[in-house]
Structure 1
Amino acid sequence: MILGGELLSAFGSGATVSYLIVYLYKVCGVAVAAASVLLIVRALLAIAGAAAGGPLTDRIGSKYAAAITLAGAGIASLALASARQPAFGLAAASIVTALQLMCMPALDTMLAITVPQTRRQTAFAWRQTAINFGAASGAATAALVLSREPATEGLPLIYILDGASYILYAATILTFIRVGGRQNSLPQKPEDLDGSRSSSSYRRVFEDRPMRWLLAIVAIVVSVGFTQFEIGLPALVVNGGINPAALGWMYAVNAIAVLSLQLPIQRLVIGRSRGVVLGSAMAIMTVSWMLVVVSLGHGTALLVTVGAVFGIGETLYTPVVQAIVNDLALPHIRGRYNGAQAVTHTTAWLLGAAVSTAFLASGPSGTRLLFMACMATLLIGLPAAFRLQRALPAGLARVPDPASDSADRMASRLPERTEPDPSGDRNCPTPGSIIG
């Protein structure tokens, strides 16, 4: 049910993600300059929403946090669909963004506690597949609607679809999901090891040494990887005089690569070092940017190849990161662990966008320098993956086999990880250390 809901909400998001500025300009009468400023405001609201989503999830439970924020995002999206005034449109768009990010820690937490620990990574891989399929379907539907209807009528329609998808997902969670209620097993004394700090704060998350290394990897990969896929490559098309249709082909091939390779690759990496898997993802993304640097004049063929190569890196990166976050998480602050990952992702995206804008301001030469800088950053960041590997407790260091029924039975009888590992001792006892 969760994966079906993810597919549904991704369908709505995929239909609208490329059209916000166009909608505000054509339907609400917002000046292009003001709409562009909204992108910065939305990024800040996204960070705030992700940060608030963690504590909300831990306080009321992932089920109710997800349902409330999804329903709120749906209502705000429907309000945006009815907006015809600039102020109303800007306010509705801002609320949608904040609630979209606020629900992410709850959704990550809910999926993580729905499946046994040995199957978390596979569950997140399935979710990535569902999201990509839903987003691709939504984008195709939006293109079909807008090819038949004028923008002033078609754009509100796709935002109605977006709002409905969120509300239906919230209803599905409330009706069918039986896990994710409020945590009842809070520590009797919510104090840190020295008795001076709360065990239910974000500070507790950042004291977890493996988590710190993981967040460093997230910051690197998002800022010079995913952000440049969304900003740097479109700028390459503009500055390089490439046919804009090439972008559509690139994103289509990227989606096909993720959809077709996500699950086979997850089977391939079973038993492999998680640090090596993440390092491989970073290396593959480096190769994709190397292709850009050495082949700037090759147009559509270049972009299609880059989309496919980058997609392979995505399939390695995303499920591993989300599984490690939830394997490391203390049960009573799992929402904050997922919130920390969401905040890092969003902040890194904003930083990457700012840096890329500075490079791209100088035209085609700046585009080449941007991707060279991205390559260098990924290569410099590679040791972080191996530092993470050494910091992980022994039982969490390798990708588990989701088909291991005996491992699932053992995991179900063992307590979750109860304390962060500030020393990074790989022999720290955890459920995973017995599972192997």
Structure 2
Amino acid sequence: MSLRRMVPGLPRQAWWILTGDAVSAFGSGLTLPFFLVYLHNVRGIELGLAGPILSVIAVAGLVGNPLGGLLTDRIGPRQAAVAGLVVAAAGTVGMAGVRSAWQGLVAAVVYGLGVAVTLPSFQALIGICVPRERRSQIFAVQYVMMNAGFSAGGLLAAVLVSASARSFVTLYLLDAATFLAFAALIARSPGGRVPGVRSPAPGERGGYRELLSDRLLLRICVLVVAVFSCGYAQYYSAYPVYAMEEGRLDAAALRLTFLANTGTVIVAQFLVLRLLRSRRRTRAFALSAVLMAAAWTAVLWAAAAGGAAGMAGFAIAMALFAVGETLMAPTVPAIVNDLAPDAARGRYNGVYSLATTLGSIAGPAVAGIALSAGLGAALFAAMALALGLVAVQALRLERHLPDAVNLVAADDRAAGERHEAGAGKREKAGAGNE
């Protein structure tokens, strides 16, 4: 199977926007992994203050996500995304000049607010730049490009960073430049009407109260909160601490397990997307939760095994988690965008983004309490159980979702088969002429 056949054929407008997202993710990879190191080691801010400053970035999403969704429906997704990216760039520049805790707090609020506004507007934008049957594809490609960009940024930062403040300032200015580059790409991206998709008309009125009547959206968002708090948030917070303390991994070995995760995402995403064609998104969502639960079970086994077996177990756990991510990426965001009326697409994505933010805030808080009490094993066991319950509830969504929303389209497979059949006929005709 050729790489060209595996990568979905998306319109030029979509590739233009996705490239900007990858550039922005590259910039975030330059700075986010070293955020606490920068504030504490370089700027001399106490860890007791630097930690909450980092948390403020996520907390800003509680305001920024709904605001971004509302702006998307009022002024349009392109304009809202550009505005959010410019604000995020301003916060990043502010972070480069931080000299005290209060300055770091202000910069983090501005940065977090800008990123949070951008997220629902960007999701709405890529949701309308392809027809309904291509939405799973575009969200899958977006997830791969985001991961690749973030990882590449982290690798470059590891080479460029030093103990000097100048090296960190350079990284933050580069990060700000990537936000502005993304804004420019969105602003200048080719437009054009997409068949079967109506762009929401800016200025249409409406708030979030009407969305409360959509119980299906709310059920999905509750499950998203659970997946992010029990899955993604633990990957970033509890897993590194537990793997190093209980699993006795050193920093180099831990990086290898993260590499196993990122590599699996990049390699597996397009293969998973092909396997999902003509299958139900809710079942992929359920399987995603099951695989994340299996990953945490493998983490528990690896910590008990120790040594080379333990190292292999942690790598396998991260690969399992990665496959779960590749199942989540093309399914749930696509469901939300398919459910959304054109006039409320921004707010639907705002609610979905808010659910991811709530999970990202709650997960580390629970992890911190459990790990400080020496209950790491109990934490991962509980998270695995909770993810299993999410899988059950995801399957129950099937009876409420119409097939047009729940099924991953197979149009491109049919097109590929027609292309192959045509090529075969041409070969036979050529042989006959000979």
TM-score by length of 2: 0.86
Amino acid paired to 2:349: N
The alpha carbon displacement at 1:268 in A equals 0.6
Amino acid paired to 1:311: A
For the pair 1:125 / 2:140, whether they are aligned, the reply is yes
Amino acid paired to 1:246: A
Q: Report the equivalent of 1:220.
A: 226
SS of equivalent to 1:150: coil
Number of residue pairs aligned between Structure 1 and Structure 2: 391
The alpha carbon displacement at 1:206 in A equals 3.1
For the pair 1:359 / 2:370, whether they are aligned, the reply is yes
Change (3 A) 1:178 1:383: same
Change (3 A) 1:328 1:156: same
Q: Report the equivalent of 2:344.
A: 333
Which one of 156, 159, 170 corresponds to residue 144 of structure 1? 159
Which one of 125, 129, 154 corresponds to residue 114 of structure 1? 129
Conserved 8 A contact 2:297-2:380: yes
Change (3 A) 1:218 1:179: farther
The alpha carbon displacement at 1:161 in A equals 1.1
Which one of 156, 159, 164 corresponds to residue 169 of structure 2? 156
Q: Report the equivalent of 2:200.
A: 183
Q: Report the equivalent of 1:395.
A: 404
Conserved 8 A contact 1:59-1:182: no
Amino acid paired to 2:93: L
Which one of 71, 74, 78 corresponds to residue 86 of structure 2? 71
Distance in 1 between residues matched to 2:97 and 2:39, nearest whole Å: 12
Change (3 A) 1:221 1:65: same
CA shift digits 1:250-300 (9 cap, x unpaired): 111111000011011101110111111111111111111111222313343
Pairs within 5 Å for 1:215-364: 215-240=221-246, 241-297=248-304, 298=306, 299-363=310-374
Conserved 8 A contact 1:246-1:303: no
The alpha carbon displacement at 1:182 in A equals 8.1
The alpha carbon displacement at 1:354 in A equals 1.6
Distance in 2 between residues matched to 1:333 and 1:209, nearest whole Å: 15
Distance in 2 between residues matched to 1:292 and 1:404, nearest whole Å: 37
SS of equivalent to 1:18: helix
Conserved 8 A contact 1:227-1:349: yes
Conserved 8 A contact 1:274-1:397: yes
CA shift digits 1:350-371 (9 cap, x unpaired): 11112112211122xx111001
Distance in 1 between residues matched to 2:414 and 2:122, nearest whole Å: 25
SS of equivalent to 1:84: coil
Conserved 8 A contact 1:216-1:384: no
For the pair 1:370 / 2:379, whether they are aligned, the reply is yes
Q: Which runs of 5+ in 2 are unaligned?
A: 1-15, 416-434
SS of equivalent to 2:331: helix
SS of equivalent to 2:373: coil
CA shift digits 1:103-158 (9 cap, x unpaired): 00110011010011100110010100110110110000000102xx4342221111
Change (3 A) 1:64 1:182: farther
Distance in 2 between residues matched to 1:179 and 1:309, nearest whole Å: 40
Pairs within 5 Å for 1:3-152: 3-146=18-161, 149-152=162-165
Amino acid paired to 2:125: M
SS of equivalent to 2:303: coil
Q: Report the equivalent of 1:411.
A: none
Amino acid paired to 2:200: Q
The alpha carbon displacement at 1:18 in A equals 1.1
Conserved 8 A contact 1:359-1:367: yes
Conserved 8 A contact 2:75-2:203: no
CA shift digits 1:408-432 (9 cap, x unpaired): xxxxxxxxxxxxxxxxxxxxxxxxx
CA shift digits 1:284-320 (9 cap, x unpaired): 1111111122231334322211111100000001220
Structure 1, 316-325 or 233-242: larger mean CA deviation: 233-242
Change (3 A) 1:176 1:273: closer
Conserved 8 A contact 1:2-1:173: yes
Distance in 2 between residues matched to 1:237 and 1:158, nearest whole Å: 29
Q: Report the equivalent of 2:211.
A: 205
Distance in 2 between residues matched to 1:295 and 1:213, nearest whole Å: 34
The alpha carbon displacement at 1:183 in A equals 3.5
Distance in 2 between residues matched to 1:290 and 1:74, nearest whole Å: 40
Change (3 A) 1:66 1:217: same
SS of equivalent to 2:191: coil
Pairs within 5 Å for 1:373-388: 373-388=382-397
Conserved 8 A contact 1:119-1:401: no
The alpha carbon displacement at 1:404 in A equals 6.8
Conserved 8 A contact 1:12-1:161: yes
Q: Report the equivalent of 2:423.
A: none
Distance in 1 between residues matched to 2:110 and 2:203, nearest whole Å: 31
Conserved 8 A contact 2:49-2:101: no
The alpha carbon displacement at 1:208 in A equals 1.8
Two-structure CA RMSD over aligned residues (Å): 2.0
Change (3 A) 1:338 1:183: same
The alpha carbon displacement at 1:405 in A equals 8.2
Distance in 2 between residues matched to 1:251 and 1:263, nearest whole Å: 20
TM-score by length of 1: 0.85
